Every structure is written in structure tokens, then in C-alpha cells.
């Protein structure tokens, strides 16, 4: 990230975890590993705190977009609110001021 520095103006986040069922709908294969989307904050998913902290350290002040996770317990509206809240919490924890 430091090499790219001020050239980074937008970041997309998508939380993935190792797929339990490799034949399930939406499973992605990459370099011999199988992944499925999960909720931001999932224990088995990606922890974005360090990435956001690194972005903060290089002065990133751009846009963060969320690639929609998959949930069997929330509708799309609830899911969007949940994802926004979780990313906002992580950004604040990393030192950003979010209104």
C-alpha cells in the first residue's frame, strides 16, 4: 500500500472464508482453494481492521465500497445496513472520523 500511496482513491471490500461445501452456490475457486462470501465481521472471514489501518497510515481519504455478502437470515436492505455499520465501526477503530 505504501508504494501506491496517494494513487489509491477507492477500495472495495468483500469478506470471504474457506467454503465448507465446495459444490454450494456462489462458491469461488482460486488457486486450488474454495471460498464463499460471508458477513463482514464473521470469525472465519477477512479481518479488515489491519487493511483500514494501513490505508489510514498512507493518508487514504477515498471511497470504500462493499461487495454484497450473502445471508440466509437477512433481506437485502437489512444486509446493506449491517454491512455499512460493520465497515463504519472498523474505519472508526482504524482512526477515521465518520459522520
pLDDT in tens, 29-79: 999 999 999 999 999 999 999 999 999 999 999 999 999 887 888 999 999
Note the Cα 19 to chain centre separation in Å. 17
- For residue 13, being part of any structural domain is answered with yes
Domain with 44, as residue range(s), is 5-93
Name the domain count of the chain.
1
Q: What is the pTM of this model?
A: 0.85
Nearest to 13 by CA among 39, 43, 34, 35: 39
Contact between 69 and 36 under an 8 Å Cβ cutoff? The reply is: no
Q: Specify the residue for cell string 470504500.
A: 64
- For residue 99, being part of any structural domain is answered with no
- For residue 60, being part of any structural domain is answered with yes
Amino acid at each position: 500500500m505504501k508504494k501506491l500511496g496517494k494513487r489509491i482513491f477507492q477500495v472495495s471490500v468483500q469478506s470471504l472464508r474457506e467454503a465448507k461445501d465446495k459444490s454450494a452456490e456462489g462458491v469461488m475457486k482460486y488457486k486450488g482453494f474454495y471460498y464463499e462470501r460471508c458477513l463482514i465481521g464473521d470469525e472465519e472471514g477477512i479481518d479488515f481492521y489491519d487493511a483500514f489501518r494501513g490505508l489510514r497510515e498512507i493518508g487514504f481519504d477515498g471511497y470504500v465500497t462493499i461487495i454484497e455478502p450473502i445471508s440466509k437470515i437477512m433481506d437485502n436492505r437489512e444486509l446493506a445496513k449491517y454491512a455499512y455499520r460493520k465497515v463504519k465501526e472498523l474505519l472508526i477503530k482504524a482512526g477515521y472520523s465518520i459522520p
